[in-house]
Chains A and B, each alone.
Chain A
Amino acid sequence: MSEEQGNPEENKPIDLSKNQNPEPAPFQPIDQGPVTPPPFQQPPPFQQQPPFGQFGAGGFGQQNLPNATASLVLGILAIPACCFYGVFGLIFGVIAWILGAGDMKKYQLNPSLYTESSYKNAKAGKICGMIATILSLLFIVVVVLIVAGAIANPQLFDEFIKGVK
């Protein structure tokens, strides 16, 4: 439930931030032409964000990364979900991994725009997703090996199962 509640609130800021990213371009010519890029990128968010501050969480008009919460929640739910042949665990884990990695890239492109805590959450979500993916993959490999063994040599498989029990 928490990811469903978290998303709509945090999805609004994405659209705004995407709309704002193109805007700094017209400002560049005003700031005395050939200076290094960083001075351009950092000031505009601080000037433009305050009107939209009602959506953001940070003090300086910084927003949370859009998928950080979803990534973290999915990454953690991936382990309890691994029961069904590891398929759901794999799906959840991969989604958490992709969302977390995407948000980390977004933050690194424009660190001043997003809150650091949401960056940490995205990173944690990515790592949890990786761990869950690896566990689920291991389990799926075991299942495939067992099925392959059962098809290739049923008698040996029966003995193996009895041996394990």
Chain B
Amino acid sequence: MAQPQHSFIDWLGNHLFSCPFKAHFGIDCPGCGLQRSVLALFSGDIISSFKFYPATIPLLFVVLFTIVHLKVDFKFGAQLIKIVFAGVAVIILINYIYKIYTHQLI
């Protein structure tokens, strides 16, 4: 079971969408790294997933939690979604500013 999954992830890794912003200007956009990060997470590498894009884990959490919330209808659901979503936005901003300062916008 492990091998077909692994090759599928490799295949996905070779077929990522390329960022038009990066293609034109040669700089990362605020969303760059998300796909690599998700792939790293799927292959079980949480640390490199975080390094590629720190907002991936909370973002995936929000998406999954929203699906569950729309089915089950938690009392605190909407509030939690709002808070985590705001956190994701802040993480993305901080991550991009950090990338600019540390010259990682390859």
Contacts and interface: CB of A to CB of B under 8 A. Distances in A.
A79 interface: yes
B66 A164 contact: no
B88 A79 contact: yes
Contact of B26 (A69, A75, A79, A165): A165
A81 B86 CA distance: 16
B89 A131 contact: yes
A72 B21 contact: no
A117 interface: yes
Give chain B's interface secondary structure class: helix
Contact of A84 (B20, B62, B70, B93): B20
Given A79-B88, A85-B21, A161-B25, A124 B31 contact: no
Given A161-B26, A164-B103, A121 B59 contact: no
A117 B88 CA distance: 23
Nearest to B67: A2
B31 A80 contact: yes
A164 B62 contact: no
Interface stretch (B7-15, B41-49, B77-85): B77-85
Interface residues of B, number: 35
A131 B86 contact: yes
Given A82-B31, A83-B19, A85-B21, A165 B103 contact: yes
Contacts of A146: 25
Interface string B84-106: 01101100110000001001011
9 residue pairs, one from A and one from B, having the closest CB atoms? A120-B78, A124-B78, A83-B31, A131-B89, A128-B85, A124-B82, A124-B81, A127-B82, A117-B73
20 contacts: A76-B85, A79-B59, A80-B59, A82-B31, A83-B19, A83-B21, A83-B34, A84-B20, A120-B77, A121-B77, A123-B78, A123-B82, A131-B85, A132-B89, A135-B30, A135-B89, A139-B29, A143-B21, A146-B25, A165-B105
